[in-house]
Amino acid sequence: MKKTIAFVLTLSLAMVPCSLAMAESAETESEAVETEVSGTEAAETEAESAAGEADVKSEGVMTYEEYVAAELDSEVVVETYVQAKQSWWEDKATVYSQDKDGAYFLYNMACSEEDYEKLEAGTKIKVTGYKSEWSGEVEIIDATFEIEEGEYVAPVTDVTELLGTDELIDHQNQYVSFKGMTVEAAGQDADGNDVAFLYNWDGSGQDGDDLYFNVSLNGETYTFTVESYLCDNTTDVYNAVKGLEIGDKIDMEGFLYWYEGVNPHITSVTEAE
C-alpha cells in the first residue's frame, strides 16, 4: 500500500539545506512504510495462525485424510463445522459440515430440537458415528455429537472445470460453485412441451417438492437439485429455479452431494456474469 505524506514547509525549514530535509523526509517515510508493512505481516500471520488453529484435532479425533481412508461401516470420530442444516425430525438432524480439508454429510444424527437450534453456520462439533455409503454418497450415520469451542465457515470452491473428471469426487459434500452453465430441458409437461425443471426427478411432484433441473457445460449435461428440506418453496433459490428458461446461462452455489453420480444440492442461482 502506498501512503503519501504531505509536508508543510515552514520558514525555519526553508533555512535547512535541501539535501538534509530530503534525507529526513525519506527516513520518516521509510519508517512509516516499515511500520505499515510490519503491521500487515502481523495481521496476515495472525490470520494464518487462526486458520491453522481452526483444524487442530483433539486427541482421538481423525484428520480428514484418516476419515477418507477409514473402511465403510467402521466407527469414525471427527471434528467439523456446521455449514447448513437440511432437516430435523423425531430427534434426528441432517447436516452439511466441513473443515478446511474436506466435508462430512451427517445423516440423521441424534439431536434434540433444542440442540438443533444451536447448530448455526460455523458451529464446531465433535461427531462420533459410522462411515457409510448410499448410491455413491459417503456420509456419517448413527451419529451423536457435542458442541465445542471454535468457528469456521468454509469459502466457496469453484469446481466448474472439474465437472466430468475423476477429481470432482474429491470435493464431495463441500460448498462449491459452478459458473457459466446452460439450462437444458429437464423433461416435458402434460402438453408435451419441454420444461426447464421438474417437481421430483420424474415430474410426479408439486410445488414444495424437490426441484430437478439440467445444466450443461462443454457438451455434457448434469442434473442438479434444489433439496426442498434444505431450501423450501419460500426461498430465493427455489423460486429462481422455477423461473428458469431453457438456454439461460447461470452461476450456482451449493453442496456437492452425490447420487449415482454428481447431484449437487443447489442453494443459490444467479444469472451468469
Average pLDDT (38-62) is 59
pLDDT grade, residue 257 (50/70/90)?
very high
- Kindly report the average pLDDT of the chain as a whole number: 86
What's the pTM value of the predicted model, to 2 decimals?
0.80
* Length of the chain, in residues: 273
Q: Which sign does the torsion angle of CA 166, 167, 168, 172 carry? A: positive
Q: Which of 37-46, 49-58, 130-139 has the highest mean pLDDT?
A: 130-139
Split at pLDDT 50, 70, 90, the class of 123 is very high
Burial bucket for residue 104 (CB in 10 Å: 0-12, 13-18, 19+): buried
pLDDT tops 60 at residue 110: yes
**Residue 180 backbone dihedrals phi, psi, to 5 degrees:** 65, 40
Tell me the per-residue pLDDT of 125-159, one tens digit each, with 9 for 90 and over.
Answer: 999 999 999 999 999 999 999 999 999 999 999 99
Closest CA to 263 of 201, 189, 179, 209: 201
CA 46 to chain CA mean position, Å: 23
